[in-house]
Amino acid sequence: MKRMASLVLTAALGGSSFALGLGSFNFDAAKMGDYLIESDGGSHRAANWLNLANVDPGNPGALTGANFDTGVANMSGSITYTIGYNSAIVDQVGDDLGIVVARYSFDDVRFRLNDGSAWTSWFALGSGTAVSTGVMKNYWYAGGGPYVAELYVHALDMAAYGVSMVKEIEIGDNGQSPQLDLVRAGGLVPEPGTMTALALGALALLRRKTR
Q: What is the pLDDT of residues 106-142, one digit of tens each?
A: 789 999 999 999 999 999 999 899 999 999 999 999 9
Nearest to 149 by CA among 137, 131, 132: 137
Q: Which of 62-76, 133-147, 182-196 has the lowest mean pLDDT?
A: 182-196
Lowest mean pLDDT among 17-21, 155-159, 160-164, 174-178: 174-178
Is residue 32 within 8 A of residue 59, CB to CB? The reply is: no
Main-chain dihedrals φ then ψ at residue 40, nearest 5 degrees: -105, 10
pLDDT above 80 for 9: no
Instruction: Answer yes or no: is pLDDT of 7 > 70.
Output: no
Task: Please give the angle made by the CA atoms of 33, 34 and 35, to the nearest 5 degrees.
Answer: 105
2-12 and 192-210 helices cross at what angle (nearest 10)? 150
Is 60 exceeded by the pLDDT of residue 59? Answer: yes
| Residues whose CB is less than 8 angstroms from the CB of residue 35 and which lie 6 or more positions away in sequence, other chains included | 60, 64, 83, 84, 86
3-state secondary structure of 79: coil
